[in-house]
């Protein structure tokens, strides 16, 4: 039986298929009955799942994350589609075609990587050029860079998402840097190329998107700074001159690129280049969130459901 993809499901349909289950939580109703809240996902999106009259035994049987066979029905609840689960059975991952469940970038990975290499190849500062070329020459790392997601849920959460996000940011930087001649373009381009490199170690994406233990403990920002200093030390051992000020300026961009302490930045932006990378990063992430929310909303309304990460509903009707 062909898989029924999430984006093919309409209201009031019977559900009898395999989905990736994420973030299941056992909760109580106001009457004290147990139910399970979860996300049911495949490569086309995700829907809220609710299993009423659940038991702790069923909850403990669920993989977190993993694949499950779901029987139930779809329904509209507060103008949003969800799946009411009657039965849920864990499925051996070896029995599943993982490509049906992990979203992939729709863009050409080879072309994006080639353009990233071309843009980064234009860096002239000796230290930044040597560092970025050392990363590009690390073939194992670049393989991970081309396959890693850009995030877990917030933005570019697909195989190849990290490359797509970085590629977009570099192209935006190319477009606006001529408007700001006082900004050091080499620092901006190197900072963008490397800003999320630690996600290649922070995130796991073999079966579902999740954090590695190391990623959970340390995080991609710190990991990226460590990776940069490891490459710099290798260059020094090879006899290359590594300018400490350039290294600090680049490190500051990495440490401040989330822009605010509450968003996980150890430092706030304090240079023109750090501000530019922060705003380009935020712009591309927000545009991806908005576009994804509009494309995956299955209602017939001109407005999407409430988007918690954006703190708004989105108007989706296009002008003629």
Cα–Cα distance measured from residue 91 to residue 242, given in angstroms and rounded to the nearest whole number: 52
Q: Distance (Å, rounded) from C-alpha 177 to C-alpha 313?
A: 33
pLDDT for res 1? 61
What span, in angstroms and rounded, lies between the C-alpha atoms of 166 and 172?
10
Q: In 152-198, which ranges are continuous DSSP H helix?
A: 161-176, 185-194
What is the largest distance, in Å, between two alpha-carbon atoms of the chain?
Answer: 71
> Residue 85: its pLDDT value, please?
96
Neighbours of 30 (CB within 10 A): 5
Helix (H, G, I), strand (E, B) or coil at 42: strand
Average pLDDT by stretches of 10, the chain with 320 residues: 83 92 91 92 87 93 90 88 94 83 88 98 97 97 93 78 96 98 98 96 77 88 96 95 96 96 92 98 93 77 85 88
pTM, to two decimals: 0.81
- C-alpha to C-alpha distance for 126 and 233, rounded to whole angstroms: 15
The answer to whether the CB of 192 falls within 8 A of the CB of 277 is: yes
Q: What structural domains and CATH numbers belong to the chain?
A: 6-98 (2.40.50.140), 109-292 (no CATH)
- Helical (H) or strand (E) element with 228: helix 220-237
CA distance 94 to 228: 37
pLDDT for res 276: 98
Using CA atoms of 246, 132, 224, 205 in order, give the dihedral in degrees to the nearest 10: 170
The answer to whether the CB of 195 falls within 8 A of the CB of 257 is yes
Instruction: Name which of 214, 219, 217 is nearest 266 in CA terms.
Output: 219
Query: Quick one: pLDDT at residue 304?
Result: 86
What per-residue confidence (pLDDT) applies to 150? 84
Q: Within 13 Å, how many C-alpha atoms sit on residue 227's CB side? A: 25
**Which of helix, strand or coil describes residue 266?**
coil
């Amino acid at each position: 039986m062909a898989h029924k993809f999430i984006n093919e499901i309409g209201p009031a349909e019977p559900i009898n298929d395999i989905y990736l289950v994420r973030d299941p939580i056992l909760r109580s109703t106001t009457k004290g009955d147990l139910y399970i809240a979860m996300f049911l996902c495949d490569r086309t999106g995700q829907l809220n799942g609710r299993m009423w009259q659940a038991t702790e035994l069923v909850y403990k049987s669920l993989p977190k994350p993993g694949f499950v066979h779901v029987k139930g029905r779809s329904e509209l609840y507060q103008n949003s589609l969800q799946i009411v689960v009657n039965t849920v059975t864990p499925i051996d991952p070896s029995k599943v075609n993982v490509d049906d469940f992990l979203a992939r970038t729709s863009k050409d990975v080879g072309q994006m990587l080639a353009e990233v290499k071309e843009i980064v190849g234009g860096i002239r500062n000796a230290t930044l050029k040597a560092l970025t070329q050392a990363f590009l020459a690390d073939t194992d790392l670049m393989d991970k860079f081309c396959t890693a997601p850009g995030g877990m849920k917030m933005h570019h959460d697909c195989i190849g998402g990290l490359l797509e996000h970085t590629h977009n940011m570099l192209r935006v930087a190319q477009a606006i840097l001529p408007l700001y001649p006082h900004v050091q373009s080499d620092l901006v381009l190197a900072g963008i190329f490397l800003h999320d490199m630690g996600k290649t170690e922070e995130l796991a994406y073999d079966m579902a998107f999740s954090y590695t233990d190391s990623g959970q403990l340390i995080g991609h920002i710190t990991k990226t700074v460590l990776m940069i200093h490891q490459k710099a030390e290798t260059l020094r051992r090879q006899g290359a001159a590594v300018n400490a000020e350039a290294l600090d300026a680049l490190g500051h961009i990495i440490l401040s690129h989330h822009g605010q302490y509450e968003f996980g930045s150890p430092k706030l932006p304090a240079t023109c280049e750090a501000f530019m990378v922060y705003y380009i990063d935020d712009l591309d992430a927000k545009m991806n969130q908005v576009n994804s929310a509009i494309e995956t909303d299955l209602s017939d309304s001109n407005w999407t459901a409430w988007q918690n990460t954006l703190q708004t509903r989105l108007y989706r009707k296009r002008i003629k």
